[in-house]
Amino acid sequence: MSVVIDVVKAREVFDSRGNPTVEADVILSDGTLGRAEVPSGASTGANEAVELRDGGQRLQGKGTTKAVNNVNTEINDALHGVSPFNQAQVDQIMIDLDGTPNKERLGANAILGVSMATCRAAAAETHQPLYRYLGGTDLELPQTFHNVINGGEHADNGIDIQEFMITAVDRSSFRDGFEKIVNTYHTLKKVIEKAGYTTGLGDEGGFAPDLDNSEAALQMLHNAIVQAGYVPGKEIAIAFDAAASYFYNTQTKQYDFEGQHLSPDALSDYYAKLLAQFPEIISIEDPYSEDDWENFVKFTKKYGDQVQIVTDDNVCTNPTLFAKAIKMGMANAFLIKLNQIGTVTETLTAIRLARKNGYATMMSHRSGETGDTFLADFTVATRTAQLKSGAPARSERVEKYNQLLRIEEELGTTGTRLAHFPDSVDYDL
């Protein structure tokens, strides 16, 4: 008798910000259990699949009991007796059951939890690690990007750029690269303290000093890299996520950035100045608003051969929006977030579309994370090449990196492919 899904159930748990989220269990007919927790973002794009929240007074309206109930009733009934080994079928059943274009009826948090838990159950039933079940033998350890200075929506300071990241460019193994990041992170703490600022942490484990502007943050990163004993751009490079939707003024069509009112062209000139001042910057995410496709395209045409340009809020891991961005010539890399689209299958479709069209891909966590390490296995399995999962601090971030260390140990460093930036375009560092 073939193994099928017997019971699907969920419960309300809490993420790294202390907000409610969904944990889903998929139990197979032979008793095998798959479990997954769903992350949640703070800086979210308008085109993301919809998290179902309860509203009302309880937990400031952020409760997830409605989403949990949808798992325990409708989704449980629909998936009973379905094969867990046909992920596309499982996900399509839930998409059809929801019946909305953005998963707002059942909740993307309900659907994604079950989608990931199904993967886990199938992997466990076949006695394989999750990365092996999903990826077979064609696997790759990613280059990781670490948000070590927080601004924007992730911190309460004067910096409008949301994330300043460091990444190990020159590394002999994943462990080697991660150790270099850890060394730089701890050195950065000393640099910040010596400058007289506090070293409180933002949502993603990065420091949130009350600096005056983004240039000061980049200079601190540069100094930390040098003081840690590394060559900026050659051994440790810098990336940032502007998250420009956060400071875009929809009325004036300008950008209210760190006390200035910048036109799109002036903002482009500002980024060019940063690239000239800090040549170790190799990647820029969301330099323009999700509503400002035209200027995003112009920026890509002008600087796309100098730096990786990542689009996130504009496309939200949605294959339809990926296709639009590709046709328009927007960016040269896509950010990948499972909960933006809401199922494993649709995420895989988006990754394949990006790769087919020569775009680099960067897997991403969310600011409201959990201890679930699904993201690490998924990144290795899909050969996404780049991963950002926060600073080497806070357990919900570090557990992703610890899982990558375990995977590297299991695979062995000899003969294991190690992703190098970028995965599709050559950049002069």
Tell me the catalytic residues: 204, 337
Q: Are strands 33-37 and 20-28 parallel, antiparallel or unpaired?
A: antiparallel
Distance CA 92, CA 142 (A): 29
Say if residues 334 and 349 touch (Cβ distance below 8 Å).
no
Token pair 């990241």 is found at 165
Q: Are strands 236-241 and 33-37 parallel, antiparallel or unpaired?
A: unpaired
The annotation places the binding site at 154, 162-163, 241, 285, 312, 337, 364-367, 388
Structure tokens at 74: 């409708």
The annotation places the binding site for Mg(2+) at 241, 285, 312
The annotation places the binding site for (2R)-2-phosphoglycerate at 162, 337, 366-367, 388
* Residue 171, phi then psi, degrees to nearest 5: -155, 145
Task: Tally the residues of the chain.
Answer: 429
Token pair 């991963």 is found at 387
397: helix, strand or coil? helix
Residue 276, number of CB atoms within 10 A of its CB: 9
Helix (H) or strand (E) holding 254: strand 254-257
Structure tokens at 377: 């296995």
* Residue 198, phi then psi, degrees to nearest 5: -75, 160
Distance CA 129, CA 124 (A): 7
| Helix, strand, coil % in the chain, rounded to nearest 5 | 40, 20, 40
Asked if the peptide bond before residue 422 counts as cis, ω within 30 degrees of 0, the response is: yes
Distance CA 323, CA 357 (A): 9
Structure tokens at 78: 């629909």
Say if residues 336 and 350 touch (Cβ distance below 8 Å).
yes
